[in-house]
Amino acid sequence: MPEDLQLIIDTAKESMSEAVAFAKKEFSHIRAGKASPALLDNVKVNYFGSQTPLNQLANVSAPEPRLLTVQPYDKSVLEDIEKAIMSAGLGLNPSNDGSTIRIPLPILSEERRKELVKHAKEVGEKARISIRNTRRDANDEIKRTVESESLPEDSRFEAEEEIQKYTDTYIEKVDQLLEKKEEEIMTV
């Protein structure tokens, strides 16, 4: 395999890997009925005029399957954290006892579970589209490189075949993550 084509393949592989990582991260933010500190990763708190991630201002833990607790490092931001959690659009109702915020997770209705599965499928499809776009871009670049460098056609087919193998592998990984998340969401 010519070095130029191997570089294209490696770049495509890295990009496909990033798409899988994106899907994994997005799936961790979808509430599946049991408490997970990752659920609050996207919450930003107005802290002295700047939007600060919650995990930089407090310790978030899940002491029970249906409860999250948030212990701020600075007690003065307790109410700001509470407001940020309420306005994050997660459907959570935090309550504070003066030093700790407790967030009970409500049991998901069948309808809400189906909505979450639909959202998870959309995330999975975005990741698959990204992987397929990477494949298309890599194949186009391979063709251009073979023509401009006067490389043998066989090396083009070999490189495209390898790109297809990686595409199949990474799409399979996304499908497995999606299947696992769907199962997690639908488990009562």
* 50-53 and 58-64 beta bridge pairing: unpaired
CATH code of the region 37-104: 3.30.1360.40
Fold of the CATH domain 3-29+109-186? Topoisomerase I; Chain A, domain 4 (1.10.132)
pLDDT digits (tens, 9 = 90+) for 146-174: 999 888 889 999 999 999 999 999 999 99
Prediction pTM value? 0.74
Instruction: In whole angstroms, give the CA distance from residue 39 to residue 88.
Output: 11
Question: How do the domains of the chain map onto residue ranges?
Answer: 3-29+109-186, 37-104
pLDDT digits (tens, 9 = 90+) for 72-112: 988 888 888 888 888 877 778 888 888 899 988 877 788 88
Q: What is the mean pLDDT of residues 126-140?
A: 96
